[in-house]
Structure 1
């Protein structure tokens, strides 16, 4: 994931000019939710997180030099209580969520002692606060041996390698830690040795997230040693560490000790053919695995046949994301055959694998047996008319009755006749909530007569709320049909036609 944040410059002060409690938090509950993003791209890069709490725009942004425990400033007990009250918290609370609050060094000065006064704190979230970086020791120095902390989230806090080293030293004091999220801190990869050493003391850890942390090939070996002490780990996220590729080559036993692992995310890790060979030996041993994400590892395309064929040994698998992996005919065939043995599968993402075009028939038998399937994504797969006709036949037979999301976008090779067949049968997906048949950004195209069939089908789909049709151009008569549809039916259905100037795109007839 890519994230850039403007670093606050130090003004050299050791004390804030205005009390953090009295000014920064004046009239604010200091609570906000994680920012969300949407994307429309094929590289699986995640969009930037941006602070969105308007109430915080007036906050003082004065910063101070990094602070240490030797500084003389100490808040009074009254100031501690006032700080917590302004947050809507008390010293007896077990959960403190300060994510996306724009904490700066000056604010950290007043918060450090207050956090230490919450003796029963079990969950602490400081995510999306760049001011935490370089000041983490000051904030967490009060946590002593036997800390009750179970969840520690420090996502995108601009942590330095020194902060990472401090986390490694702190972990042995957190015997109750179950969730550790250090994602989007790209500099802590340099201190992974310390973190890995600390992880050996967190035997209760169930969730470890190191998404986009600047991990390298050497990091795999360090983590391998730590995993031997984390037998209870259920969720592991190493995604978006592009320098990780090649690290699995000499670690064939990596992950083998994580017999309780339920979620494994390795998307966008630049996995090599040798990495895939090593994972092929391990994947069948992870019988508890429920979610597997191997997306955006393009070098897997010609080397993953054995790995994908062994997915049949994961009967509990519910989510399989293998989009943008440059699959080839042989690897897709192996995947299609193995997926027939995944009865619990609910989410299946094959988008951006062009080899599927003209070969969807290989999945035909699989789709008949995936009775639990909720999400099917086939965006930009080079689908042709024959493919969508086969899909329509499966839908008509009732084999995808539980499907809620269907993405067929960016498949411009389907002719109007194919869309007509599909639209005449899509009404059988009674639980469908989202359908996307948008064209790729470089193309616009006139809607055929199938648009009428689509409207008719939607009147029979009581759950549907979103229909993606970007860059499809409605004729005047079809615009009138749509207007009448809105007048006669629920207004909660959104047709996303997008906004563009018709002249900007080549038109297909």
Structure 2
């Protein structure tokens, strides 16, 4: 309860108290030595025979509204008696005394009422939850653990009211460094309530708003907030399609020398005009290290403009341009920018089909990226001429750890031994050559190069039919690849001999760290081959994912190897996922699988 409504009452009581004191002073000046007692006592003459009666009534006054009625009734009852005559007072003096007494009673009542009401304010304040308690209650309501530094509310089905409530809690979170509200569609249209409170969390470093359905107003309010979050380093606005065409609303108030290090705007429907705004943005964020513009098919039209300003972020370490509609001139402009990006660690220009045939324009500076660790060129429609250029450039990338050339058919059919030259990259940990049209010659070149890749952890050869029956060519490499954890051989036309080879390698202590094995879409494997594999499956001690599904157009009975599979599962405690699509299971077999899950407290999904 607020104190302000009671203040006039206290003022009147103080004024009446002053009036009473003045009246009492006048009476004493007239020689009344038997008059009023202290200012809080009743001014009843001592000679009154009813003195004790009045005091008894006064002692029983309650704090309720009857407080004034009781003394008034007593005075009315005794109004005909002249108490002052026994002391020689006239009637006027008595009336004046009674008037003063009434004033004193009113003052006493008001003071008592004030005292009664007074404690209600501090009690209410004590009972109301503190900011910390409110924050804890808010997080508990959403099923989240409170953290004063990291506010993770991803995919919490937040409502607009929740966003407003959260905004009211920011003043109590001065140490907050990260806010993640991704995958909450109702944040869109309500973000301004939050951004106007961001000055309370000036230590904020990370803001993630993926898939929040941000509106133009949200983008504007976010742009205005840049000035009040000077420590912001990471901004992720991915999957907000309404940002497209409105990026200037975000960038126009960005202060020069902004500390942003990570900027992600994946699938934001960015336009060519947004590309120009982004280019201007690069001039004021010199500390940028990660730029992700993936899945913005129209941004490629302005890539030359963006590339020109990439020189303003010389510390850039990661550039993701996956599916950005890049064209020949885009790659030319990018090549000019690469000479300023000596610190680049990752370059992803995958799924840009129209850049095929233009790699010769990017070769000059691509070879100078000595710190490059990840190069993703999958589905770029590289030509045979591109393969020739890449075979000269890629071996010079001495720090390369991950290479993805998948879905480029000319990699496998070219006469240039690109795959054979991977031997010059001993730090390679991941090689993806899925669907590259490998022939026996190119596959043999890869197998020989793999002997020089002791750090290899991931090998993806899926959708290369020549692997089937020739897996033995990789025998030496698989024996040396002690770190290999992922082996993908989907749709490789594998035969029983290939599965037997994998089983023997594992039983001999090789492939000991294998965690994921994809054997799906290999319909050419006989029941006998599956039987041999399942019998030796228990040797894959660390296996967590296994896929033996058939092609969508196929359907087969499990046959006699099902019992061998079920027996092996009990010896694979790490296995969490098992794909068995299109394998037909009997009712008895399904019951056995369900019983296995229940008895072993596992949740392996069998898609039958």
TM-score (structure 1 length as normaliser)? 0.82
User: Does 1:340 find its partner at 2:451?
Assistant: yes
In structure 2, the partner of 1:47 is none
In structure 1, the partner of 2:253 is 142
C-alpha contact (below 8 Å) 2:400/2:425 kept by paired residues: yes
CA distance in 2, matches of 1:328, 1:249: 25
In structure 2, list runs of 5 or more residues that go unmatched.
1-158, 168-178
Displacement, 1:109? 3.1
In structure 1, the partner of 2:383 is 272
In structure 1, list runs of 5 or more residues that go unmatched.
1-20, 34-51, 62-78, 498-509
Question: Which of the numbers 449, 455, 460 marks the counterpart of 2:571?
Answer: 460
Q: Deviation per CA, 1:387-434, whole angstroms, max 9, x where unpaired?
A: 112222212212111000000000000001000111111111110001
In structure 1, the partner of 2:318 is 207
Displacement, 1:111? 2.8
C-alpha contact (below 8 Å) 1:28/1:87 kept by paired residues: no
Displacement, 1:252? 3.3
In structure 2, the partner of 1:98 is 209
SS at match of 2:578: strand
CA distance in 1, matches of 2:432, 2:596: 36
SS at match of 2:474: helix
SS at match of 1:200: helix
| Cα pair distance change 1:88/1:488, threshold 3 Å | farther
Displacement, 1:151? 1.0
CA distance in 2, matches of 1:489, 1:101: 40
In structure 2, the partner of 1:10 is none
Displacement, 1:142? 1.8
User: Does 1:53 find its partner at 2:181?
Assistant: no
SS at match of 2:459: strand
Q: What is the 5 A alignment of 1:8-47?
A: 25-27=163-165, 31-33=180-182
CA distance in 1, matches of 2:249, 2:545: 47
Q: What is the 5 A alignment of 1:105-504?
A: 105-303=216-414, 305-497=416-608
Displacement, 1:173? 1.8
Displacement, 1:362? 0.9
C-alpha contact (below 8 Å) 2:286/2:314 kept by paired residues: yes
* Greater relative contact order (Cα < 8 A, sep 6+): 1
SS at match of 1:398: coil
C-alpha contact (below 8 Å) 1:242/1:269 kept by paired residues: yes
Structure of larger gyration radius: 2
C-alpha contact (below 8 Å) 2:164/2:194 kept by paired residues: no
SS at match of 2:472: helix
Displacement, 1:220? 1.6
In structure 1, the partner of 2:113 is none
CA distance in 2, matches of 1:204, 1:297: 31
SS at match of 1:376: strand
C-alpha contact (below 8 Å) 1:251/1:278 kept by paired residues: no
| Cα pair distance change 1:54/1:224, threshold 3 Å | closer
C-alpha contact (below 8 Å) 1:360/1:387 kept by paired residues: yes
Displacement, 1:27? 4.6
C-alpha contact (below 8 Å) 2:199/2:228 kept by paired residues: no
C-alpha contact (below 8 Å) 2:387/2:416 kept by paired residues: no
Greater fraction of residues in helix: 2
Q: After the TM superposition, which of the residue ranges 318-327 and 142-151 deviates more from structure 2?
A: 142-151
| Cα pair distance change 1:486/1:128, threshold 3 Å | closer
SS at match of 1:311: helix
C-alpha contact (below 8 Å) 1:354/1:381 kept by paired residues: yes
CA distance in 2, matches of 1:22, 1:468: 40
SS at match of 1:208: strand
Displacement, 1:172? 2.3
CA distance in 2, matches of 1:437, 1:223: 42
SS at match of 2:413: coil
CA distance in 2, matches of 1:182, 1:246: 23
The number of aligned residues is: 439
C-alpha contact (below 8 Å) 2:251/2:277 kept by paired residues: no
Displacement, 1:88? 11
| Cα pair distance change 1:89/1:329, threshold 3 Å | farther
What value does the CA root-mean-square deviation take over the aligned residues?
2.3
| Cα pair distance change 1:201/1:108, threshold 3 Å | closer
Displacement, 1:91? 3.3
| Cα pair distance change 1:416/1:305, threshold 3 Å | farther
C-alpha contact (below 8 Å) 2:189/2:217 kept by paired residues: no
Displacement, 1:83? 2.5
TM-score (structure 2 length as normaliser)? 0.69
Displacement, 1:87? 7.6
| Cα pair distance change 1:53/1:462, threshold 3 Å | same
CA distance in 1, matches of 2:557, 2:301: 54
C-alpha contact (below 8 Å) 2:166/2:194 kept by paired residues: no
CA distance in 1, matches of 2:597, 2:241: 46
